Structure 1
Amino acid sequence: MADFEGMWRDLAPIGRSASTGGYVRQPWHAAELELRAWFREAAAARGLTVEEDPFGNLAAWLPGHERGTEAVLTGSHLDSVLDGGAYDGPLGVVSAFAALDLLRERGVAPTRRLGVAAFVEEEGSRFGRACLGSRLAVGAATWDAARELTDREGVRLGDVVQGPGDAGDDGDGAGDGTGSGLLDGVATYVELHVEQGRGLIDLDAPVGVHDGIWPHGRYRYDIAGRADHAGTTRMEDRADPMLTFAMTALAANKQARVRGQRATFGRLDVRPGGTNAVPSQVTAWLDARAESDAELAALVADIERQATERAGRDGTTVTVTAESVSGEVAFDPALRDRLAARLGGVPVLPTQAGHDAGILQEAGIATAMLFVRNPSGVSHSPYERAETADCLAGVVALADALTGLVT
């Protein structure tokens, strides 16, 4: 298992903030590009063949089986949220390479094509669309639409990644929502991930299996008002969009709490942004999650209703745009049960976090997820953790799972 620890040491400094200890590994910026180079080096050191699709997704394949034949894929992503943790994403990729090493040590000869994947822009931290790389890979998103997405500096996705060329005219369907071809033949996908909650802590278990993903979405609130002087304008004469936003944030918190669901405003843009001026525009992004599609729809509708009612009192207007919505995902039950049994009856729990695994499952690929205990219970934060012993247990579990799938 020395390979796991060595790989982890190589990755630990990349994109780490000296001030916070958190990570900034946004797609197609320096840190993430360095991780992509590391992926290629790790694959080459193992004699794997690397493929990259037009969107930047990577897959490294063991030799011995032709492209397009029935395949098993494992892996995760390398990008992070802003000031995120070390383990969210890279743990799954490092563990995948380590699991392949363990299979070789055991003398396992795969009878199916086997590879390691690194999907791009899983977090949506740069271009605002979660699991964008896997969506494009399976055809759940089109390049024609994705290429126009912009980051916070106004840079277009189409200007930083090549894409399939002239969309719809390149012969592989990558521009018209039929996928990139990278996953041709993939019948099964297993993703290992650090746990992003306290389930395994409470159960005192190092490794578990996910059975599904809560539906979730990102919604942009554009709240328009009227810019004015902070000193000379009477309070009763204002059309202040910040007041509308403040009430909306409180409403989201209350609605989620009383339902036992999740609602978070984590990003805010205020224009013109002067300390001594009433703003003219507030744009805020809501992340909402619930245990069912119906619950999510009801939660989002009630938050929007309260925002609109408050806007009527404030003299402002609210426009809500659903930027990204993912429905409820149930992982393949036969595969889930098979893995849980093979791993000795490990806990089976749902997750409220989105993953590339959910996109692949919805595309018809039988998918399962393993997760490794996080003793902090915190994720998307520098406080995210995983003990080495638990990570190594995760590698063994992943290797055991893959052995059962490729032999």
Structure 2
Amino acid sequence: MNNLQARIEEHIETLSKFTATPGQGTTRLTYSNEDKKAREYLKEKMKEYGLNVQEDGLGNIFGKLDGTLPDAPSVLIGSHFDSVPNGGSYDGPAGVVAGLEVAALFAENNLKPKYPLEVIALVEEEGSRFGGGLMGSRGITGLLSEDEFKNLTDHDGISTVEAMTKIGLDPTLPIKRDPKTMKAFLELHIEQGPILEDKNIPIGVVETIVGLTQFEITVEGQAGHAGTTPMDRRSDALVTAANMIARFPSLATEEGEGTVVTTGKLHVFPNGANVIPKKTVFTVDIRSGKEEHIQNVIKKLNRLIASYSKDGIHISAIQQLYMKPKKMNQEIVSLLKQTSNELDIDYFPINSGAGHDAMVLADVTDVGMIFIPSKDGLSHCPEEWSDSRDIAKAVDILFQTAKKLTEVEKK
């Protein structure tokens, strides 16, 4: 094992310890104590690698290696460091670690860039605490306003501002970043699917990222006693929600071409075994490589809501996120492929079925993204695993690509 691979494994192992569910996967929600410990580690490593560290009003972390050109835009490299509940150790952190190690290679090789290099660690990509997802990148690009951000709350009613303040972050700092300060963004991510492993290829060069939208649906009925309320006199919010959710697979299959619909979160109120549910809140995640399919499913969802809004049942829907399918910058895609060839590393052109911060930043700067294989195609679970040898290969590709984009000079 070489030094690069050893450092990668050390980073991943250390970050995996910052979890609220030891032994049951990684649970690192945004602005939690686990978030605080992870960011302290990342900032320490950024400083150790010679980067100037700052945080913004969202808590995104930036480690900057200044360039020789005054006021020049930065080449950003990184990913997110939050997790889903009981998730894995590689989804997000692998990309942040790759950014750290690119910066380490700049230092080891005594390189000084013309354009600054910035390692970034983004918050709330998963949306596990405050909903919607991609919060860090949406804030940077202005898709999430300061007022919208400050009005977000988690399921316990704790606001973003309260949560930030509790772990010592400053919510009064600026959120949106001037696009003119960004020359390009590079992101490494685990594939979260089986294609690369099945093909025995270590690198996927992403060409397109799927479009997605997320809704929070609230079904309100009437609570009542489970034993004394006749079946024909009930306005059961959970039964209504369950009937709706059972229809979602058909909404996706009617569209075809890889369209998917998922309900991954559901809350029942008052959540008593002998009480008819008064309210049910659940999520709907819609994804497709073609925007027309997303729009069609939204129309069908609205018709479904209208058809079930009767007999004492009221249903409301809040759209928390909408992202069109995004193509990666063709020049950077070509550069990643060229660099892979130069390093004699096999790659495969691939499309992403998951949403990523790269798709948000693609609206304001040139973006390139690469995948590494996921064992058994698994992700968002404790069994999630990727080989550090593949991460090291990806770091080599990103390092050489970053050298070209930052136009490095020898010190």
Equivalent in the alignment of 2:348: 347
Q: 1:340 to 1:246 in 2, by over 3 A?
A: same
Three-state SS of the structure 2 residue aligned to 1:367 is strand
Q: Do residues 159 (structure 1) and 173 (structure 2) align?
A: no
Q: Do residues 402 (structure 1) and 398 (structure 2) align?
A: no
Equivalent in the alignment of 1:113: 116
Q: 1:99 to 1:180 in 2, by over 3 A?
A: closer
Q: Do residues 3 (structure 1) and 4 (structure 2) align?
A: no
Q: 1:405 to 1:357 in 2, by over 3 A?
A: same
Say which is worse superposed, 255-264 or 80-89, in terms of deviation. Answer: 255-264
Contact 1:218 1:286 (8 Å CA) reproduced: yes
Equivalent in the alignment of 2:362: 361
Question: Displacement, 1:406?
Answer: 2.1
Give the length in aligned residue pairs. Answer: 392
Equivalent in the alignment of 1:170: none
Equivalent in the alignment of 1:97: 100
Q: Do residues 331 (structure 1) and 325 (structure 2) align?
A: no
Question: Displacement, 1:158?
Answer: 2.2
Contact 2:32 2:163 (8 Å CA) reproduced: no
Deviations 1:249-304 (CA, angstroms, capped at 9, x unpaired): 11112222342311111111111211111111111111111122211011122133
Distance 2:231 2:304 in 1: 22
Q: 1:128 to 1:278 in 2, by over 3 A?
A: same
Equivalent in the alignment of 2:287: 289
Contact 1:76 1:90 (8 Å CA) reproduced: yes
Question: Displacement, 1:68?
Answer: 3.4
What letter corresponds to residue 298 of structure 2 in structure 1?
V
Equivalent in the alignment of 1:140: 143
Q: 1:67 to 1:353 in 2, by over 3 A?
A: farther
Equivalent in the alignment of 1:189: 185
What letter corresponds to residue 342 of structure 1 in structure 2?
T
Contact 1:83 1:382 (8 Å CA) reproduced: yes
Distance 2:401 2:198 in 1: 24
Residue segments in structure 1 that go unaligned for 5+ positions in a row: 166-173
What value does the CA root-mean-square deviation take over the aligned residues? Answer: 1.9
Question: Displacement, 1:397?
Answer: 1.9
Distance 1:7 1:278 in 2: 48
Deviations 1:11-58 (CA, angstroms, capped at 9, x unpaired): 2322162342x1111111111111110111101111111121122111
Equivalent in the alignment of 2:242: 246
Distance 1:350 1:67 in 2: 37
Distance 2:16 2:79 in 1: 17
Distance 1:68 1:160 in 2: 34
Distance 2:275 2:7 in 1: 56
Equivalent in the alignment of 2:167: none
Distance 1:65 1:52 in 2: 23
Distance 1:310 1:9 in 2: 48
Distance 1:374 1:89 in 2: 13
Equivalent in the alignment of 1:216: 212
What letter corresponds to residue 92 of structure 2 in structure 1?
G
Give the TM-score normalised by structure 1. 0.91
Equivalent in the alignment of 1:320: 317
Three-state SS of the structure 2 residue aligned to 1:35 is helix
Three-state SS of the structure 1 residue aligned to 2:104 is helix
Contact 2:225 2:275 (8 Å CA) reproduced: yes
Contact 2:67 2:117 (8 Å CA) reproduced: no
Distance 2:142 2:71 in 1: 17
Aligned equivalent of 2:26, options 23, 28, 31: 23
Contact 2:210 2:288 (8 Å CA) reproduced: yes
Distance 2:77 2:236 in 1: 50
Q: 1:53 to 1:360 in 2, by over 3 A?
A: same
Give the TM-score normalised by structure 2. 0.90
Equivalent in the alignment of 2:18: 14
Distance 1:212 1:288 in 2: 17
What letter corresponds to residue 307 of structure 2 in structure 1?
E
Q: 1:351 to 1:67 in 2, by over 3 A?
A: farther
Question: Displacement, 1:311?
Answer: 4.1
Say which is worse superposed, 339-348 or 25-34, in terms of deviation. Answer: 339-348
What letter corresponds to residue 228 of structure 1 in structure 2?
G
Deviations 1:158-213 (CA, angstroms, capped at 9, x unpaired): 22333336xxxxxxxx47xxx245x6521111011111112212322111111121
Q: 1:66 to 1:338 in 2, by over 3 A?
A: closer
Deviations 1:309-351 (CA, angstroms, capped at 9, x unpaired): 2444x64222222111112211112211221222126211111
Q: Do residues 303 (structure 1) and 311 (structure 2) align?
A: no
What letter corresponds to residue 238 of structure 2 in structure 1?
M
Aligned equivalent of 2:55, options 52, 57, 65: 52
Equivalent in the alignment of 1:79: 82
